[in-house]
């Protein structure tokens, strides 16, 4: 793996960056009655997606350790994994997006954008190489029919 920082730590780091940027750019603040509703929607959706995705891994009795994809016992391709190859990371990006709405500052949206880029380059691509080595043609077929994010 290229980056050995767990995804949950990356979420916290990106969230802190978003908060820091929003605190130094008050001129990018926005208001609206819809802001809280959007925040709640993204956070709730992220939490639900994360719970369902984790449940699929637990039912498949495979590792949920993102730093050891080579230890995967099963290639999970059902449920949410039919729609996205990375619903857990998608859920984390949704939660960061909800947090940006809560902060009410456009610069806070750097957090989910940065997270998606970091995860794609330093977590997902190395995971995909490990899964391809582990599951071969089965992973190739899955990668062809299922998008990386959504």
How many domains is the chain built from? Answer: 1
Percent of the chain with pLDDT strictly greater than 70: 98
Instruction: Tell me what pLDDT residue 4 has.
Output: 77
Query: Is residue 85 situated within a structural domain?
Result: yes
When mean pLDDT is compared over 3-17, 30-44, 58-72, the highest value belongs to 30-44
Query: Is residue 15 situated within a structural domain?
Result: no
CA-closest candidate to residue 114, choices 91, 96, 137: 96
Query: Is residue 134 situated within a structural domain?
Result: yes
62-101 in b/e form (b: 16+ CB < 10 A) is beeebbebeebeebbbeebbeebbbbbbbbbbbbbbbbbb
CA-closest candidate to residue 6, choices 65, 93, 87, 81: 65
Query: Is residue 25 situated within a structural domain?
Result: no
Per-residue tokens: 128:
């995909």
CB hemisphere CA count around 32 (13 angstroms) = 12
Query: Is residue 4 situated within a structural domain?
Result: no
Instruction: Tell me what pLDDT residue 3 has.
Output: 55
Domain span at residue 80?
34-145
Query: Is residue 120 situated within a structural domain?
Result: yes
Q: Is 87 a residue whose pLDDT tops 70?
A: yes
Once rounded to an integer, what is the mean pLDDT over residues 64-85? 94
Confidence category of residue 90, pLDDT binned at 50, 70, 90: very high
- Host H or E run for residue 119: helix 110-119
Return the number of other C-beta atoms located less than 10 Å from residue 33's C-beta. Answer: 6
């Amino acid at each position: 793996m290229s980056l050995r920082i767990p995804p949950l730590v990356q979420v916290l780091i990106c969230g802190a960056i978003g908060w820091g940027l929003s605190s130094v750019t008050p001129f990018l603040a926005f208001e609206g009655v819809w802001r809280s509703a959007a925040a709640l929607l993204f956070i709730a959706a992220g939490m639900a997606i994360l719970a369902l995705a984790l449940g699929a891994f637990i039912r498949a009795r495979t590792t949920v350790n993102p730093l050891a994809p080579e230890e995967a016992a099963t290639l999970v391709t059902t449920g949410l994994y039919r729609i996205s190859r990375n619903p857990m990371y998608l859920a984390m990006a949704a939660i960061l997006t909800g947090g940006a709405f809560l902060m009410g500052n456009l610069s806070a949206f750097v957090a989910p954008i940065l997270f998606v880029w970091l995860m794609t380059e330093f977590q997902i691509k190395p995971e995909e190489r490990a899964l391809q080595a582990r599951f071969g043609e089965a992973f190739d077929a899955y990668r062809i029919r299922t998008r990386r994010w959504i």
